[in-house]
């Protein structure tokens, strides 16, 4: 049985998020490996395509049609982030745009929902694998009928760990390379697959043992944080403080590896 929260509000929000993520994912599947119009944003390597914008418009219009009072923070700016709304949607319409633009098959739709400031629903949909990662507060993290659980690995030397690099990597000295060097010397392997939301879901589903990254944004992590937490994982900033909702410092692990990874960062 797929996730079906007992609480009726959680159930309604999850169903809407799931439907919108799947509809946006269908656009991505249709447009994958077709001619795309590319623009750049914060740096020459920070891309946006017409598909990012079309997916965001579809999701935002779908939320507004069903739930006019909710706040929406959306990466490409179509949302309306009302200050005192009870419910806030946080959307990355296409996480992994560089991959998408290159025909590299790893990207997703990420939708997180907060109720009164608490992470409450998370949906991350990978349209090529047709995998929909879902979580609702207190109801676990799920991939279809399978309840997700983080790995039990407690040795960095046997751990598969992911990271990423920010779009200012050409110019910034705070470029994650020192941490990358430390971790690659002790871990079994490192991956840089280019979708933060999927990296978090892979920690939740034990495909990865840990993940860290700097300079992300709220839409990269809003859904993935809840999915990791509901799968029994641990999230902190680099100083072992509470999860950083801005995404500036993200460390997500199975819990057992948390302190050892923090030492390397």
Instruction: Return residues touching ligand IPD (CB under 6 A).
Output: 92, 95-97, 164-166, 194-196, 213, 216, 220
- The answer for 238, left when phi > 0, alpha when psi is -120 to 50, beta otherwise, is alpha
Residue ranges of the alpha helices (H) in the chain?
Answer: 8-31, 50-66, 97-102, 177-184, 196-204, 218-230, 258-264
For 221, the token pair is: 């992590």
- Give the nearer residue to Ca ion in terms of CB position, either 94 or 228: 94
Minimum CB–partner distance for residue 26 and Ca ion (Å):
17
Partner from ligand IPD, Ca ion, none binding residue 96, C-beta < 5-8 Å depending on class: ligand IPD
- Give the nearer residue to ligand IPD in terms of CB position, either 25 or 194: 194
- Give the nearer residue to ligand IPD in terms of CB position, either 3 or 226: 226
- C-alpha span between 80 and 89 (Å, rounded): 10
126 is a site residue for Ca ion (CB under 5 A): no
Minimum CB–partner distance for residue 138 and Ca ion (Å):
26
209 phi, psi to nearest 5 deg: -95, -25
One DSSP character per residue, 98-154 reads HHHHHT-S--EEEEEEEETTEEEEEEEEETTTTEEEEEETTS-EEETTEEP------
The one among 56, 70, 95, 153 contacting Ca ion by CB under 5 A? 95
220 is a site residue for Ca ion (CB under 5 A): yes
Q: Determine which helix (DSSP H) or strand (DSSP E) holds 95, and give its type and residue range.
A: strand 87-95
Partner from ligand IPD, Ca ion, none binding residue 195, C-beta < 5-8 Å depending on class: ligand IPD
Report which of 106, 145, 139, 107 is spatially closest to residue 122, judged by C-alpha positions: 139
- Give the nearer residue to ligand IPD in terms of CB position, either 5 or 89: 89
Which residue lies nearest Ca ion, judged by its C-beta?
95
- Give the nearer residue to ligand IPD in terms of CB position, either 176 or 264: 176
- The answer for 138, left when phi > 0, alpha when psi is -120 to 50, beta otherwise, is left
56 is a site residue for Ca ion (CB under 5 A): no
The one among 92, 114, 153, 193 contacting Ca ion by CB under 5 A? 92
- C-alpha span between 116 and 197 (Å, rounded): 22
Minimum CB–partner distance for residue 45 and ligand IPD (Å):
10
Minimum CB–partner distance for residue 189 and ligand IPD (Å):
17
Contact 252, 234 (CB under 8 A): yes
Partner from ligand IPD, Ca ion, none binding residue 249, C-beta < 5-8 Å depending on class: none
Partner from ligand IPD, Ca ion, none binding residue 212, C-beta < 5-8 Å depending on class: none
Residues in touch with Ca ion (CB under 5 A): 75, 92, 94-95, 220
């Amino acid at each position: 049985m797929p996730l079906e929260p007992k609480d009726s509000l959680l159930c309604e929000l999850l169903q809407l998020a799931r439907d919108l993520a799947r509809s946006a994912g269908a656009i991505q599947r249709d447009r994958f490996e077709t001619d795309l119009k590319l623009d750049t944003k914060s740096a020459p390597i920070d891309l946006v395509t017409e598909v990012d914008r079309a997916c965001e418009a579809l999701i935002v219009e779908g939320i507004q049609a069903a739930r006019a009072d909710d706040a929406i923070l959306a990466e490409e700016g179509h949302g309306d982030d009302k200050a005192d709304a009870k419910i806030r949607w946080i959307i990355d319409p296409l996480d992994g745009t560089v991959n998408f633009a290159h025909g590299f098959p790893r990207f997703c739709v990420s939708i997180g929902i907060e109720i009164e400031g608490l992470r409450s629903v998370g949906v991350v949909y990978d349209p090529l694998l047709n995998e929909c990662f879902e979580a609702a507060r207190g109801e676990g993290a799920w991939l279809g009928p399978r309840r997700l659980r983080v790995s039990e690995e407690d040795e960095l030397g046997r751990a598969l760990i992911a990271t990423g690099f920010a779009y200012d990597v050409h110019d910034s000295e705070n470029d994650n390379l020192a941490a990358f060097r430390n971790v690659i010397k002790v871990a079994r392997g490192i991956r840089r697959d280019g979708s933060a939301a999927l990296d978090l879901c892979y920690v939740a589903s034990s495909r990865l043992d840990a993940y860290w990254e700097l300079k992300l944004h709220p839409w990269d992590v809003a859904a993935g944080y809840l999915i990791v937490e509901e799968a029994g994982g641990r999230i902190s900033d680099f100083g072992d403080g509470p999860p950083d909702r801005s995404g500036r410092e993200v460390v997500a692990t199975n819990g057992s590896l948390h302190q050892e990874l923090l030492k390397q960062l």
